[in-house]
Amino acid sequence: VDTGNVRKDAENRFTDYARHLHSDALKSQKLGVEKSHLASTLPAGGLLRQAVAVLRAQGATVVEVDVLAAVRPIGDAEFDVLLYEFKDGVNKYLAQPNVPVKTLADVVAFNKANAAKAMPFFQQEILEMAEKTDGLTSEKYKAALRKVVDTSRAALDVALKTNGGLAAIVAITTGPAACIDLVNGEYDTGPDYSGPAAMAGYPHLTVPMGQVHGLPVGLSFVGAPYTEAVLLSLGYAYEQATKHRQAPTFRAVVG
């Protein structure tokens, strides 16, 4: 990394994003929409198709892109990075003063010693997998991280260059919250788009897109590095055109 270029980039950025919020910001913009999300037959897919209609009505051109097809093969590497960084982060967090357990290993041991109370319905396989990792200096971790970052950035870069250059890619942020039970666990309620931008380190904005059975679903805007102002402006314009946000309500506890 050229530190001079990084410093120059930082100097050219700003923090006053409010001045970029305009209700007509979608006019004449070129956007991509994640192809597989657009084709989803789940309720969230219907909300996305409605959102695309709104974007077009506001003057945007919307074309299909397929980022997920390019990043899907790196799922194993992504999971490896998660395990390594989870252990590292948990250990750093637990190292703070006045925390009775000091490491992830302590958490695993506590759960085993109190299995009847701590794990009456499930085990801790992922915690144990994370505990077996050997630190962020591991060659396996470094290789997985390089694969994840390089592949996700390449996929997003290619998509964002579609049709002469896109301002952003839109997709379903994630499906509505699922009911969790001991038979089905947490089942799939719709596609999500948190992965590509998170792996690449690219900016990602989500705004309300609608509700499914009273549960909120978000619309994601993902862009190239340092395009936060553009994403905020696009998201603001979409919000002003739809007014989908509903104040959360708290339902009475059952049972």
CATH number of the structural domain spanning residue 225: 3.90.1300.10
100 shares a domain with 210: no
In the structure, what pLDDT confidence band is assigned to residue 229 with cuts at 50, 70 and 90?
very high
- pTM of the entire predicted model: 0.88
Judged by average pLDDT, the poorest of 16-25, 42-51, 102-111, 132-141 is 16-25
158 shares a domain with 87: no
CA neighbor of 105 nearest in space, from 130, 73, 84:
130
Is residue 93, in this structure, part of any structural domain at all?
yes
Query: How do residues 32-88 score in pLDDT, each as one tens digit?
Result: 999 999 999 999 999 999 999 999 999 999 999 999 999 999 999 999 999 999 999
pLDDT of residue 82: 98
Single residue among 140, 168, 197 that ends a domain in this structure: 140
Q: In this structure, what token pair is assigned to residue 230? A: 């553009």
39 shares a domain with 152: yes
Is residue 7, in this structure, part of any structural domain at all?
no
Q: Examine the pLDDT at 144 and tell me if it is beyond 60.
A: yes
The domain of 116 spans 75-140
114 shares a domain with 135: yes
Residues 6+ apart with CB under 8 A from 8: none
CB atoms < 10 A from the CB of 86, how many?
Answer: 17
155 shares a domain with 237: yes
Is residue 253, in this structure, part of any structural domain at all?
no
Q: What is the mean pLDDT of residues 192-217?
A: 95
Instruction: Count Cβ atoms within 10 A of the Cβ of residue 60 and give its class: 0-12 exposed, 13-18 middle, 19 or more buried.
Output: buried
Is residue 188, in this structure, part of any structural domain at all?
yes
223 shares a domain with 152: yes
Most distant pair of Cα atoms in the chain: their distance: 61
CA distance 40 to 191: 8
220 shares a domain with 106: no
Region for 27 from its dihedrals, namely left if φ exceeds 0, alpha if ψ lies in -120 to 50, beta otherwise: beta
Q: What is the mean pLDDT of residues 131-154?
A: 98
